[in-house]
Amino acid sequence: MKSSGAMAAMAIGEVAQRFGPATHVLRHWETVGLPRPARDTAGRRRYGEADLVRVSVILRAEEAGLGLDTIRALTAATEPAVRRDILRGEAEALRSRIAAARDSLALVERAVGCEHDDLIRCPHHRRRVVPEG
């Protein structure tokens, strides 16, 4: 398999140094199909320009909170509509996680403002379990 690109191919250690992930992470990505660097005659990985772009895409997608399965599906999709559908699903999941995080933050902020030494005696928390009536 040959990597495309006009720049000189890079060894795995150089890629790790340039982009940040450890070499074992790059190897793991390869085992799950991301990316697929060429091998030289000694069997060492050689990352070409297209591989480097793919590494960059993987890192950005991970920063956005996408998992490797989703990243693989996105990079394998040849139809823009398929990519958009995947991304719409991820956006909805992210909105749900953000809402849950906001609820958690509100709970923690209420607890910070609670005047009781023991959260068990806090009327706000007690109302959640034993409604007033």
**102 domain-assigned:** yes
Q: Does one domain contain both 8 and 72?
A: yes
Strand partners, 45: 39
Q: How many domains, the chain? A: 2
Rounded-to-integer distance, Cα 12 and Cα 18, Å: 10
Burial (CB count within 10 angstroms: exposed 0-12, middle 13-18, buried 19+), residue 52: buried
**44 domain-assigned:** yes
Q: Does one domain contain both 65 and 2?
A: yes
pLDDT in tens, the chain (133 residues): 444 446 789 999 999 999 999 999 999 999 999 999 999 999 999 999 999 999 999 999 999 999 999 999 999 999 999 999 999 999 999 999 999 999 999 988 888 887 877 877 777 777 778 776 6
Question: Domain limits at 66?
Answer: 1-76
Q: Does one domain contain both 50 and 91?
A: no
For residue 89, give the 3-state DSSP assignment: helix
Q: Does one domain contain both 96 and 64?
A: no
Q: Does one domain contain both 62 and 91?
A: no
* pLDDT score recorded for residue 18: 96
**81 domain-assigned:** no
* pLDDT score recorded for residue 1: 47
Rounded-to-integer distance, Cα 35 and Cα 56, Å: 10
